[in-house]
Amino acid sequence: MRIAFFSTKPYDRIWFEPMGKDYGFDIHFIELPFNEDTVYLAQGHDAVCLFVNDYANAAMIEQLHQMGIRAILLRSAGFNHVDIQAADGKIPVLRVPSYSPEAVAEYAMAMILTVNRYTHKAYNRTRDFNMNINGFMGTDLHHKVAGVIGTGKIGQAMIRIFKGFQMQILAYDPYPNPNLDVKYVEIEELMQKSDFISLHCPLTEQTKNIINKETISMMKDGVFLVNTSRGGLINTEDLIEALLAKKFGGVGLDVYEEEEGLFYEDRSGDIMQDENLARLTTFPNVLITSHMGFFTVEAMQAIATETLENAYAVEHGLELKNIVKP
């Protein structure tokens, strides 16, 4: 099987290159993202492998179908960047449903602790031998209320971490897990009662901009919000408006609504054209990182293994256990 592997970074090769050879695959690593301008590069391959900021719309899927592409391999759990309806019956779309839920949940907690206790700012201050702690007062997590939106594998890992801090936990999910020892509530109650809110749901038509002017107005003053899932869960302009009104104690964003073309790239020499992202970086209580919550040794190895297992199943006509259906 010949696989066109898009949005390649050096760390992708560490696992995919040797493992691909073990599977007998011919992987072509392409640094360019997968989009309407680069879809032609898939010609002559059996499958394409996409990352979170690549996309495949209906027209592109039809092009892939005409090329004879047998599979769209996603090296991610999310699949909102592919038109699943258009692909149905033409090309199977296979994802990595679980690589390391703990990696993302642990990172979400790291963001909460950082933005709450100002460790990133304290580090910069003490490097200049400024030992003044003024302005760095945080709040205890112990016995506070944590709201978890989305109780899949990552959400469940987050709940376990919150329990370790002896926090009271409220959860919201349209499909509650009856085997999970947690209190499910409606989204309104979670917004109203939570001191810390962590987002762990996929981006769908139902969850797009679930954090907006209306839901923000329900939240407590001084609430902390962390998003390590998908940027589109938050309406950025409404978030900025609330930050200006000093609604939040702190915000941690590992994802951003318009991150395509920005995250995973070095733009340090460019003038930032995205006014909302530039504005977010000016708030002292906002921490932004570049979609790296998943980035651990264990997670990367698991992503490579599961992605190549998906390709192997396609090549040998096996059950496609990770196929995404409309």
Strands (E), 75-189: 93-94, 145-149, 168-172, 183-184
The arithmetic mean of pLDDT across residues 309-313, rounded, is: 98
Calpha distance 128→190 (Å, rounded): 41
User: H-helix or E-strand containing 103?
Assistant: helix 101-117
Whether 2-99+296-315 and 101-288 share one fold: the answer is yes
pLDDT at 260: 84
CB 218 within 8 A of CB 192: yes
What is the CATH number assigned to the segment(s) 2-99+296-315? 3.40.50.720
Residue 300 pLDDT exceeds 90: yes
The reported pLDDT for the residue numbered 134 is 96
pLDDT of residue 321: 96
Strands 47-50 and 93-94: unpaired
Domain boundaries, the chain: 2-99+296-315, 101-288
- The pTM assigned to this predicted structure is 0.91
For the segment 6-31, the average pLDDT, to the nearest whole number, is 95
Q: Residue 254 burial by CB count (10 A; 0-12/13-18/19+): exposed, middle or buried?
A: buried
Lowest model confidence (mean pLDDT) among 170-179, 221-230, 267-276? 267-276
Per-residue pLDDT for 239 more than 90?
yes
DSSP output for 190-232: HHHH-SEEEE-----TTTTT-BSHHHHHHSPTTEEEEE-S-GG
pLDDT above 90 (res 299): yes
Catalytic center residues: 230, 259, 291
CATH no. of 101-288: 3.40.50.720
pLDDT for res 261? 85
Q: Please, which residues have CB within 8 angstroms of residue 228's CB and are 6 or more apart in sequence?
A: 104, 107, 108, 111, 154, 198, 199, 200, 252, 254, 255, 293
As given in the structure block, the two tokens for residue 78 are: 């999310």
Q: CA 29 to CA 49: how far, in whole Å?
A: 10
pLDDT at 230 over 90: yes
Q: Which residue in the block uniquely carries the two structure tokens 């960047």?
A: 81
pLDDT per position as a tens digit, 36-74: 999 999 999 999 999 999 999 999 999 999 999 999 999
